A and B are shown apart, each in its own frame.
Chain A
């Protein structure tokens, strides 16, 4: 204000006084005072309403208003401009009245000079401005306290509220903040929260350091819980001594609830993501060429690779397809690019962790308005579990069918055996009878009878094989030496071996561990295989029988989804005994190799085999939980390999001999 001139409105009807005051002021302040005059209250009001007046110098004796009335009229129009009144010589009473009505000051006519007048004017302006500022400040503070939704309080050193805002009062259930004065946190909260809050206050009182932005869980005696973000500050008096605390706290219950809900939903999302088995991708095309690929949620879950890894490595999608299935998938992609209608395939995928999974891969072309293909959307679903259960179901079904088939075959076999063997019995004894008769002295007759007996034995063997095949029986397991059983079997078919001119070579491992077997059944297996070998070498050859002890290798353990279910019987590292029976005969045509274990399937000419020998053999090995394979040897002939569990030293056989 020092630079700007002071605008003074002189309200005075006496021209002499006006002139005098002007002279006094201009002498004192040399152009820093601009004086305007009004001789009537109505003029003064008009001028004040126009603005720009800093102070009014008011004579209380005016023609249109007398005494303090003039003051009241002016103030009702302009309350913010300070008014200094001039009173007559002995009008102290009026002066006091004027001050009570809001005049800033008064001067007594004839008792002041320019200097005094100017000081009073300046003081009046200054005081008014200060009061106005204070009032503004107070109003702003009140507005803040009254309206802010945050809770504001002031407490004394004892923790009692000395001032609170309506937001805080309403939290405690009061309409009027004054109702809260004198109370403490203990009157509203549970002890747990009140004690903690009091401890925090003590800290602030002691240290003088504020606690800023502390998250507080507020619990009420009725069990209700709210969350607040609180700042506590020390309250100081004019000398700086701490006389209490004050603070602001914001209700963040909704935020906190939302946060907890968000965290819960994130957790649910993560759990969901873990179980995701579907993965959506989009391949964007331009003129039949792939321009970009978008990988959706589930990419990581299904393939083990992140979308970024796919983006970095353009051929990754191809490499992760199981090699045998790549052609099929590539064909699908080609047809997708050409815009063929949607179709799906099932293929295997090698995940990043090396696991092989079955995937159903389906795509749908996306076209623009003119029908041109612009992209295709794909859905990959991991169907490994479903596939596995399907396979289990299939296996169970086929086992059931097999069991039913065997049951029927069993009944059929028993019926056939009875009806065939009884006539064979008559024929056999008949042949015995004829052999005793005088007719049989003739060599030719004897040879005819011999051939008839052979034919009869063959017929009997067919029925016997059928019976053996069809009637599942319990095994009489005993710990035995495989080498000894093989020797016995070789002796048993010595006649066939000699007849075929076959040389027998045995490579038996010394000191083989015992094997738990049904000796009769295993003998039958060896006899079947050796007989087959002899039949394959009817013009001579070498039969090599080899035994050895070894342990199962990981490569032989069941491969994931390899379909080799027989492998499940053995565990890696388990001691086993291998028996190889190899001939140097004609071998089995490759296309027939896969069928040789089927019942009634035979590669032999009529009369040489029933087609049941290998079925029975396989069944016996299955019952022993062993493994048999028959393959053509690279150097010719057939090699049959049987694998049986060895009895580990120290183990007792499941059923020891009594």
Chain B
């Protein structure tokens, strides 16, 4: 069975690299340039996407909306990572685009748990 493919979109390359290193069970693609996020997603065809909300030049919400319009990507679960939304607010905004929010800083275990929940593995 091939590894599940996870796309990490975050301008903080230290974070994406370390997360990739701590989760060897998945095939993880890092994208640190938000402007290339959509293109990379189309090429990579991930099973799940983690998307930073606040990035220079583009915000996670807009990128998610574009992905949801792409026939090839619209069924891919997206989880937002954000530094400035507190967990309880994430709950209230849970329904937005069917996307979940995780408040930074997240631990490797939280991310793992989140992937398992969404991909059922």
Q: Are B105 and A428 in contact (CB under 8 A)?
A: yes
Q: B69 in the interface, Cβ–Cβ < 8 Å? A: no
A429–B108 contact, CB under 8 A?
yes
Whether the Cβ atoms of B19 and A429 lie closer than 8 Å is yes
Q: Beyond A428-B105, A429-B15, A429-B22, is A417–B84 a contact (Cβ under 8 Å)?
A: yes
- Quick check: is B96 within 8 A (CB to CB) of the other chain? no
B88 within 8 Å of A (CB atoms): yes
Within the assembled complex, what's the spacing in Å between the Cα atoms of A414 and B53? 13
Contact of B92 (CB < 8 Å), options: A424, A471, A476: A476
Does B57 sit at the interface, judged by CB under 8 A? Answer: no
**CB pair B83 A418 closer than 8 Å:** yes
Q: B86 on the interface (CB 8 Å rule)? A: yes
Residue of B21, B83, B89, B107 near A428 (CB, 8 A) is: B107
- How many chain B residues sit at the interface, stated as a range, is 20 to 34
Number of A-B contacts (CB under 8 A): 65
Smallest distance from the beta carbon of B78 to chain A beta carbons, Å? 18
Q: Is the CB of B105 within 8 A of A432?
A: no
Q: Which of A390-435 contact B (CB under 8 A)?
A: 413-414, 417-418, 420-422, 424-430, 432-433
Question: Does A460 lie at the interface of the complex (its beta carbon under 8 Å from any beta carbon of B)?
Answer: yes
* Chain A residues positioned under 8 Å from B19 (CB to CB): 429
Is B14 positioned at the interface, with any CB of A under 8 Å from its CB? yes
Residue from B54, B88, B106 within 8 A of A418 (CB atoms):
B54
Contact A417 B105 (CB under 8 A): no
Inter-subunit contact B22/A424 (CB<8 Å): no
CB distance from B9 to the nearest CB of A (A): 14
B106 touches A428 (CB 8 A): yes
Residues of A contacting B108 in the complex (Cβ-Cβ under 8 angstroms) = 429, 432-433
Residue in A414, A422, A460 whose CB lies within 8 Å of B15: A422
Residues of A with C-beta under 8 A to B18: 426, 429-430, 432-433
- Residue B94, interface by CB 8 Å: no
Inter-chain CA distance A467–B54, complex, in Å, is: 16
Q: Are A425 and B83 in contact (CB under 8 A)?
A: yes
Interface string of A444-484 (1 = CB under 8 A from B): 00000000000010001000100110010100100000000
* Contact of A425 with B84 at beta-carbon distance under 8 Å, contacts A432-B22, A432-B108, A460-B105 already known: no
B71-98, CB < 8 A from A: 81, 83-84, 86, 88-89, 91-92
A651 within 8 Å of B (CB atoms): no
Residues of B near A520 (CB, < 8 A) are: 88, 91
Cα–Cα distance between A412 and B56 once the two chains are bound (Å): 18
Are B107 and A429 touching (Cβ within 8 A)? yes
Residues of chain B contacted by A425 (CB below 8 angstroms): 12, 15, 81, 83, 104-106
Is there contact, CB below 8 Å, between B86 and A468?
yes
Question: Chain A residues near B12 (CB, 8 Å)?
Answer: 422, 425-426
A467–B90 Cα distance when bound, in Å, is: 14
**Cβ contacts under 8 Å, B89 to chain A:** 473
15 additional A-B residue pairs with CB within 8 Å, beyond A433-B21, A520-B91 = A417-B84, A422-B83, A422-B104, A424-B105, A425-B15, A425-B106, A426-B15, A428-B106, A429-B15, A429-B19, A430-B18, A432-B22, A432-B107, A436-B22, A521-B88
